[in-house]
Amino acid sequence: MLLSAVRKIYDRDLPLLLYGFSGGAHFTSTFVAWKPQRVITWCAYSAEWWDVPSVKVRQPAGILACGEDDERYGASLTYFLQGRALGEPWTWVTVPKTSHVMAEPMSHFVRNEFAVLLDQWRKGNHANGSWWDFDTKQPLKESEVREYPTLAVWLPNQETAKEWATLHQP
């Protein structure tokens, strides 16, 4: 229905940027796994359960997040780790002192990262970005990312990396 509505309204297929919270996070992650070529970037924030990521389908850059006091934290982090083990260009955010609510600092971060990725996509240089350590918040070399993929998060530029380092609390 979503793809048909976009085509009907705009008279063409447009790429999507998806942001889902809770049940919307599960919808978002499932949609991206189904139609990754239709998505520029996405964020799935705090779902209770997740499908297992598939090695058969490469996904676009995405953000997985959960509040540190949210009972969905373990399930959300596990999904992120499974995707990173497959090499997906994903970012993890632990939102500090937050339960199962949408936190404005997280929404602000997502809007900023989406704007950067949309701009990069429009310019055709969406391969930009760098890897950062999940715990130390320091830049990683490609060899470190290959050796320890689940400790790495991908960020599109230095500005989003700085905002992520301020927001994310490992």
CATH level 3 topology of 15-167: Rossmann fold (3.40.50)
Tokens 């530029």 locate to: 157
Is the pTM here over 0.85, yes or no?
A: yes
At a CB cut-off of 8 Å and minimum separation 6, what does 15 contact? 38, 39, 40, 121
Q: Which two tokens mark 124?
A: 């055709």
Q: Which two tokens stand for residue 30?
A: 């499932």
Q: Where are the domains of the chain?
A: 15-167
Q: Indicate whether 72 pLDDT > 80.
A: yes
How far, in Å, CA of 170 to CA of 166, rounded? 11
Tens digit of pLDDT for each residue in 19-43? 999 999 999 999 999 999 999 999 9
Higher pLDDT among residues 75 and 54, named by residue:
75
Q: How confident is the model at residue 127 (pLDDT cuts 50, 70, 90)?
A: low
